[in-house]
Structure 1
Amino acid sequence: MALENVSQWGLFEAERRINQGALSHGFLPSPSELRREIDRVMEPFRERERRAAEEKRRYLWAEDDKPRALPAPAGDPEAVAKWRARRAVERAEAAAKAAGAPVDRALFADKDERMTRTAADAVDDYMSRQSRHHYRSSERGEEFDA
């Protein structure tokens, strides 16, 4: 029962850590100790799955699940007028969505600075990174391939 829903990799990794002395005692672990060690091994993977699910939930637009307007019906002028009105609303919502897309400030903290950057600034930044790389490589005694 202690090994229900355990991956083979998690079991082998926990066993490897136990053999390397992860537990405070030298005898075989009880089933509950083994399960705790497996859970400790698998925690980073479970956390990554939780973050991915949260990110998917956070960045999902409500409009993504809405049905789209069908092609305009032919023949009935009232149905065509309703379709055009619905299509206009969808286009307006799409334009508003594109104009006001949320920006993750952690990823784009220097967005305003980058928008004012010139091509010369970009070249200067690139050259300074290359010279720093060359300097660090020469300190370590590595050859630098130009």
Structure 2
Amino acid sequence: MEKPNFGAEHVFRPATHADRVDALRVLVNALPGRRPVDMELMLAAFELALEGCSRWAVAQATREILQGSLGHGFMPSPPELRREIDRIMAPHLAARRREAEAERLYRWPEDDKPCALPAPVGDPGAVARWRAKRDSEKADAAVKAASPPVDPALFGDREARKKRTSADAVSGFLSRQHRRHFHSSEADQESDP
């Protein structure tokens, strides 16, 4: 079996109706088999079996079948031909999945962010507005980079906490401890008969 050609898009180019008919013509004329009663029905069955296959896979499967990959020398049925194509495409599809997973895993968050538009040319007012906006965005980014990340859901009272004294912090801690022990002792009393 040929090694998969990673990154070659020709392996995944869809087969046309003419490609599928050419492959069937080769197989029908080269391999012995029962002649179908209804030729249109046979062609429709093969069209259905080869739906979504690539041009390269159909050609490669035809080649390998003629070289004896099926283990018998007769015309393959539609499912046999599709299984052979799927076997041939398996390493290529696995490589494509690995590439997509690597792309997903190693994508930087900055890759998805929109880039800044270039400065407008000609209109001095537009250039001034653009520079002001760019400078404010740079200042915001610098402040964000210098400060630790804060989750507003957890620290919604961040500004109020900054204004507290150490005595306020200690009394708040003691009141929380008192509430915690008070509620746990009530729960213990309710559970005791």
TM-score (norm 2): 0.39
Cα gap change, 1:89/1:27 in structure 2, threshold over 3 Å: closer, same or farther? farther
Q: Tell me by how many angstroms 1:69 deviates.
A: 5.7
Question: Corresponding residue for 1:47?
Answer: 94
Q: Is the 8 A contact 1:2 1:32 kept in 2?
A: yes
Question: Corresponding residue for 1:88?
Answer: 142
Question: Corresponding residue for 1:6?
Answer: 53
- Percent identical across equivalent pairs? 52
SS of alignment partner, residue 26 of structure 1: coil
Question: Corresponding residue for 1:15?
Answer: 62
Q: Tell me by how many angstroms 1:25 deviates.
A: 2.4
Question: Corresponding residue for 1:56?
Answer: 103
Name the count of aligned residue pairs: 92
Q: Is the 8 A contact 1:69 1:87 kept in 2?
A: no
Question: Corresponding residue for 1:139?
Answer: none
Structure 1 runs (4+) deviating above 4 angstroms are 68-71, 78-81
Mapped partners of 1:80, 1:54: distance in 2: 35
Q: Tell me by how many angstroms 1:74 deviates.
A: 4.2
TM-score (norm 1): 0.50
Mapped partners of 1:52, 1:59: distance in 2: 10
Mapped partners of 1:2, 1:49: distance in 2: 23
Q: Which moved more, 1:48-57 or 1:18-27?
A: 18-27
Q: CA RMSD in A?
A: 3.4
SS of alignment partner, residue 41 of structure 1: helix
Cα gap change, 1:11/1:74 in structure 2, threshold over 3 Å: closer, same or farther? same
Where relative contact order (Cα < 8 A, 6+ residues apart) is larger, the structure is: 2
* 1:34 pairs with 2:88: no
Letter in 2 for 1:37: E
Mapped partners of 2:66, 2:52: distance in 1: 22
Q: Tell me by how many angstroms 1:63 deviates.
A: 2.2
Letter in 2 for 1:7: S
Mapped partners of 1:20, 1:38: distance in 2: 14
Q: Tell me by how many angstroms 1:26 deviates.
A: 2.3
Rg larger for:
2
Q: Tell me by how many angstroms 1:86 deviates.
A: 2.1
SS of alignment partner, residue 14 of structure 1: helix
**Gaps in structure 2 of 5+ consecutive residues:** 1-47, 120-126, 147-193
